[in-house]
A and B are shown apart, each in its own frame.
Chain A
Amino acid sequence: MNQTPRLVVSWLLVAALLGYGIVQTLITAAKLFTN
């Protein structure tokens, strides 16, 4: 049973969601040090 594609898609989905959240939050957080 080749599960590699399923593993890749699964982890990509959560990585994309979390990555989007972290990047957006870091952009907001940067204001703490730039203001």
Chain B
Amino acid sequence: MGILSVLDREHTIAPPGYSRWLIPPAALAVHLCIGQAYATSVYKTSLIKHFDTSQTAIGVIFSIAIVMLGLSAAIGGTWVERNGPRKAMFVSACFWASGFLVGALGIGTGQLWLVYLGYGFIGGIGLGIGYISPVSTLIKWFPDRPGLATGLAIMGFGGGALVASPASRQLLSLYDDGYDPNVSTSVAGGGALVALFLTLGIAYFIIMMFGVFNIRVPADGWKPAGFDPSQVKAKALVTTANVSAANAIKTPQFWCLWVVLLCNVTAGIGILEQASPMIQDFFRGADGKSTVAVAAAAGFVGLLSIFNMAGRFVWSSTSDVIGRKPIYAMYLGVGIVAYFLLATVGHNSTAIFVLLAAVILSFYGGGFATVPAYLRDLFGTYQVGAIHGRLLTAWSVAGVAGPLIINGFLDREGKPGTLTAEAYRPALFTMVGVLAIGFVANLLIRPVANRFHEQAATTTAAEATK
């Protein structure tokens, strides 16, 4: 296969003495790039004006990308496991960069369907493959701290928006003199958007290649110095047996965890989606004017992004110490209390409101980052990446359900710009119920029955042929 054979799994086995601390930055290089998906709002208004179309028509680009993320992660998970992280990261980089290039062509020629195809469909495949590509490798390199390792990588997905938002604003002002990055209503021209998409596509491809060439899989039987697998087995819920992806989806544990992720993400998206108008509505006076300015609301969104990112690392690492089931009980249980307080006393003070929203968003991020380690505990390392891919379909469903719940209630309460804290109560109490369902689903999770476990010979042979 010539030069591309360097991407094969057998050429990525780490030599003796290879530092496992090279793996998290390789994974971060990919996740920091694909995390741009959460920064699309920066140029949304410019796209609306350029194509002279509706908010919904432009919002569809992001929706297609997230749906493709879930689908490609679910369908491509087994392929990623078979071909290894380097080839998967390379494929992801090609799709993600091509998505931007085709999107740029669509903007340049004024054809919105090309942006749907490029950024949405092609880029979305890059998102899904890129999201799961380093996960099982990290778990194999860090059997002693899987939560820390996956937390570090998935933190990058949250951090990607933090990088892409200001970078996109600054690039747009560079390419278009009339665009002011400090004015939220400022609109960039089509030429600047094309240049932005081309720049992002090329830059992300280069950064992702850095991850491609640094990633390695550990040799068979490798374990960190001083690590004793028998101590892992001694923990409740943690298995040293292995379950295939095909068998995992037949277990009640998989579906309980699917419901847990669905509920946790639905509740978090509810705030994330509505953050900017929400803080203004909560502090709207009797005269109809909000005491929170538009610029301050943008600051609130930025603060939430930092808590979303930090929660991914902090809580996922904490789960290595206190266990996966207890930490999800915290995400969902404390989340119930936080949502209840937000609905009842959140309007009394900006500080209380910000604090409660920050806690909820840190749990939202934590839920994403801890789930691969939870899957490792329940199903072993054999096909954990493929199982993770299938579980991410819960994200796609939550991406539709969360905004539907919030917007459905708010549409009944009044028009945007006239809502108050009271208008949010039905939606927030609904989220309390959603989190309660997730809390019960987490309590129902028990160790996987022996009949689903693979024979030791099967997993050993599979590892040998990988």
Which residues on A are within 8 Å of B, measured CB to CB?
A: 1, 3, 6-7, 10-11, 13-14, 17-18, 20-22, 24-26, 28-33, 35
Contacts and interface: CB of A to CB of B under 8 A. Distances in A.
A4 to B, nearest CB: 9
B165 A25 contact: yes
Given A10-B22, A14-B28, A29 B162 contact: no
B32 interface: yes
B163 A17 contact: yes
B15 A25 contact: no
A21 B159 contact: yes
19 contacts: A1-B17, A7-B22, A10-B22, A14-B25, A17-B163, A18-B156, A21-B161, A21-B162, A21-B164, A21-B165, A22-B159, A22-B162, A25-B303, A25-B305, A26-B302, A28-B166, A32-B299, A32-B354, A33-B296
Contacts, number: 91
Contacts of B28: 14
Nearest to A12: B25
A3 B19 contact: yes
B295 A26 contact: no
B293 A26 contact: no
B452 interface: no
Contacts of A7: 19, 21-22
Nearest to A10: B25
A8 B28 CA distance: 14
A11 B24 CA distance: 9
A29 B302 contact: yes
Contact of A28 (B18, B164, B302, B350): B302
B17 A28 contact: no
Interface string B128-164: 0000000000000000000000000000100101111
Given A7-B22, A28-B302, A32-B354, A14 B15 contact: no
Given A21-B161, A32-B354, 5 more contacts: A7-B21, A21-B163, A24-B162, A25-B306, A31-B299
Nearest to B159: A18
B346 to A, nearest CB: 15
Given A17-B32, A24-B166, A29 B22 contact: no
Contact of A26 (B25, B296, B300, B306): B306
A10 B214 contact: yes
B29 interface: yes
Nearest to A32: B299
Nearest to B210: A13
A29 B295 CA distance: 9
A19 B350 CA distance: 27
A14 B299 contact: no
A22 B22 contact: no
A24 to B, nearest CB: 4
A29 B350 CA distance: 14
A29 B292 CA distance: 13
A3 B306 contact: no
A13 B25 contact: yes
A33 B29 CA distance: 33
List of 10 A-B pairs having minimum Cβ-Cβ separation, nearest first: A21-B162, A32-B299, A24-B166, A10-B25, A21-B163, A31-B299, A35-B296, A25-B302, A29-B302, A28-B302
B26 interface: yes
Contacts of A17: 32, 159, 163, 207
A5 B84 CA distance: 25
Contact of A14 (B29, B162, B295, B298): B29
Contact of B32 (A1, A18, A24): A18
Contact of A22 (B17, B25, B214, B306): B306
B150 to A, nearest CB: 15
A30 B354 CA distance: 13
Contact of B306 (A6, A13, A29): A29
Given A3-B18, A13-B25, A20 B299 contact: no
Contacts of B162: 18, 21-22, 24-25
A31 B354 CA distance: 13
Interface string B92-128: 0000000000000000000000000000000000000
